[in-house]
Amino acid sequence: MQLEQQSTAEIYRILKDWAGLYAPANLAKTEETAKLLVDWVMANDGGIVSFVGLNRAAQALGDKILVKEPTPIEKAFAIDSKNLKQNLNEKTAALTQQKQRTTVIENKAVEKELKAVVDEIHKEINNFLVTQGGRANYARTEYGQSKLREVLAQHDIRSVGNAKLALAAIRRAKGNLS
């Protein structure tokens, strides 16, 4: 009488089905665990892999193939850790949103100040007027305004500080032209 041998595919299928249906919940699902189970069944249960043989192997191998169950204290610590992390994430998100709102408000204030300074610069240039004998001298006024625009062109007025420097330079130049 000759015993039938199981194919590797059949052993794999039996192991997979057993792991999904009958294996202990805390079974370590690794290749090493599968090898230990199959080796035990081959050595101690007649060499045929079956659900019953795998159950006996799992019982016999015990801690070698099972993941240690956490103690109640470890479970409580894990829950507290998870809650703490969640609270930290929520507070971080709230602070980030607050910072974004503050940044938007600050940006609007800076934009408003920049617009006021740039408007003042254009007002200084456009209101430059040269009078002679109580009457406007348009040629000298145009010449003066073009010189003030040249001074403006030498400055980058995209920031409040630079725009204020440009305004001061235009006022100095305006004093020199009068």
Per-residue pLDDT tens digits for 98-122: 888 888 888 888 899 999 999 999 9
Per-residue pLDDT tens digits for 5-38: 778 888 889 888 888 888 888 888 888 888 888 8
**pLDDT (mean) for 117-133:** 91
CA 59 to CA 55: how far, in whole Å?
6
pTM of the complete model: 0.45
pLDDT at 2 exceeding the cut of 70: no
| Residues 163/124, Cβ–Cβ less than 8 Å | no
pLDDT band for position 171 (50/70/90)? very high
**pLDDT (mean) for 140-147:** 91
Q: Where are the domains of the chain?
A: 1-87, 103-177
CA 122 to CA 176: how far, in whole Å?
18
What's the DSSP call for residue 23?
S
Phi, psi of 80, deg, nearest 5: -60, -40
